[in-house]
Amino acid sequence: MGMRRGKPLWLTVPAYAALVFLYLPMLAVGVFSVNAGRHGFGWKGFTLEWYGRLLQNSQVLEATRNTLILAVVSTVVATVLGTVLAIGMSRFPWPRRWRGFLDFAVYLPVVTPDIIFAAALVVAFGLLRAVSAAFNPGLLTMVIAHVTFQIAFVALVVHSRLVTIGRTLEEAARDLYADTPYLLRRVMLPLLMPGIVAGAMLAFTLSLDDFVISFFTAGPDSTTLPIFIYASVRRGVTPELHALSTLIFLATVLLVLGLERLMWLSTRQEAKG
């Protein structure tokens, strides 16, 4: 047997350099969030004071509440609509031209730059305000704006799940005289559940971290955590801001790890089946 060769140096060094470039800034933010020194870069000792102050900051608590409401409501709506859209695209016999148009319409929000998407939403809400004052900048417009781009991500994830499971079980259920409601409730939804949950978690993460679209559609009483951080940075970086950024980063990491775990369990279950 020959000696096992290691990974080539030209591939290993850039890979580790990329990891350092990505995570070193967040590591520094985490360290400064527990640094007792309020000013400067010197280490003054370990403290959790800045996290405690966050819990006493009414602006942070209000921004957190708005962020969670926005993320949860928009995720629920986008998950339902995105799942229905994916099923309709995959299982309805669309003509070739219509199918191409639907694929384009779903991929467009994914590849469109946020700043262009946000500017288009501002124009759209401006026209809708002529019909109803409910479309004034605020939490409702932010929910609608987030749903418009979350639907595409959910639909793509669920559609990939539909392609993976195929049509065999659905055809077998039809052969056993299952009607459409029974087929959706007892066959398709259980099979689609890993994809639905994965799409929902992706939508929730995107909503939680979004700044550009939220900034363009927010009102004076609907500030979210990314908007609050942006405004705080303009006034100066403080240890409380480091603590807040660290908490948001950890929440995002936990969501991503949960998504990875879910996908792994789904793959393992399919392999056993």
Token digits for 45? 């000792």
Average pLDDT over residues 9-30: 82
Task: Write down the pTM of the prediction.
Answer: 0.80
Total of domains in the chain: 1
Token digits for 218? 């927010």
Taking only the tens place, the pLDDT of each residue in 128-185 is 988 888 889 899 999 999 999 999 999 999 988 888 877 777 777 777 777 777 777 7
CA 85 – CA 13 distance, rounded (Å) = 43
* Tokens 């409702």 belong to residue: 140
CA dihedral 199, 201, 205, 207 (to 10 degrees): 70
Q: Is 193 inside a domain boundary?
A: yes
- Scored b (16 or more CB within 10 A) or e, 100-133 reads eebeeebeeeeeeeeeebbeebeebbeeeeeeee
Average pLDDT over residues 26-55: 82
Q: Is 29 inside a domain boundary?
A: no
Q: Is 80 inside a domain boundary?
A: yes
Q: Which domain holds residue 134?
A: 52-272
pLDDT at 215 (0 to 100): 93
CA 90 – CA 106 distance, rounded (Å) = 13
State which H helix or E strand residue 196 sits in: helix 189-209
Q: Is 251 inside a domain boundary?
A: yes
Q: Is 23 inside a domain boundary?
A: no
CA 203 – CA 77 distance, rounded (Å) = 10
Q: Is 77 inside a domain boundary?
A: yes
Angstrom distances, CA of residue 28 to CA of 44, 191, 208, 239: 15, 43, 22, 12
Average pLDDT over residues 21-45: 81
Q: What is the mean pLDDT of the chain?
A: 83
- CATH number for the domain harbouring residue 177: 1.10.3720.10
Q: Is 204 inside a domain boundary?
A: yes
Q: Is 229 inside a domain boundary?
A: yes
Helix axes 58-91, 225-235, angle to 10 degrees: 140
pLDDT at 5 (0 to 100): 57
